[in-house]
Amino acid sequence: MPIKSSTKVEDELLGQGYEIIIGIDEAGRGPLAGPVVAAAVISKFKIQNSKLFNFVRDSKTLSAKQREILHDFIFENFYVGIGLCDHRTIDRINILEATYLAAKKALTDLIKKSGGNKRQKLKAQNAKRKTILLFDGNKKIPNLSLKQKAIINGDKLVKIISAASIVAKVTRDRIMLSMHEKYPQYHFHKHKGYGTKLHMEMLKKHGPCKIHRKSFHPVKNLQRI
């Protein structure tokens, strides 16, 4: 049985006086092709009693159909920001830095959609409203002025991060489905760019395409052959 994410962390933070709790997660750090996508979310309403809210958990434990349903539910009940870094950026600055950059882009997008047009406006709002960002992982996002907390297995344990993981996963999967239309010989619709047996076979047969991450060893090694 998958671990059931809960609002325990959020409830504790609310008890400490935090008014705005932002969850951020990413999808696509491991694949050999395509972008890394981050999502940042804030709950609009108290929706704990919603039946669908109870199903929000780590995106990896959900079927594609379940993720799509929950994705729409999250967009209706959360403010959502999305950021991505493409394969070129990943090759230029490395996947970890690209993940941080995508997270910052998602946060900027979230600010715009939740009423803040400028970063200065957010700072003014935060001076009055205690805000914290919850990020999945063991490291905080560098060079960020917002108070934040890194949570290992946050996508499995913390509901707001689980919601972000679903949005990031669905967004990236949709991108990779569109890439299948452009590069059908790689079957991106099946593996979404991950290094599966099928993907490796197609890579060896056709060589890398434009969206492959040339700095990743399996792709880099093929280019040397």
CA distance 61 to 185: 28
Specify the pLDDT at position 1: 46
Domains by residue range for the chain, with CATH:
8-183 (3.30.420.10)
pLDDT surpassing 90 at residue 122: no
DSSP state of 3: P
Mean pLDDT to the nearest integer, 28-48: 89
Contacts of 171 by beta carbon, 8 Å cutoff, 6+ apart: 27, 37, 39, 82, 84
What is the pTM for the complete model shown?
0.91
Span 128-181, pLDDT tens digits? 689 999 999 999 999 999 999 999 999 999 999 999 999 999 999 999 999 999
Give mean pLDDT, residues 101-129: 73
What is the model's pLDDT at position 43? 84
Task: Say which DSSP state 33 is in.
Answer: B
Question: CA-to-CA distance for 111 and 166, rounded, in angstroms?
Answer: 19
Residue by residue, DSSP assigns 58-119 as -GGGS-HHHHHHHHHHHHHHEEEEEEEE-HHHHHHH-HHHHHHHHHHHHHHHHHHHTT-SSH
Whether 46 shows a pLDDT value over 80: the answer reads no
224 pLDDT exceeds 90? Answer: no
pLDDT-based confidence at residue 85 (cuts at 50, 70, 90):
very high
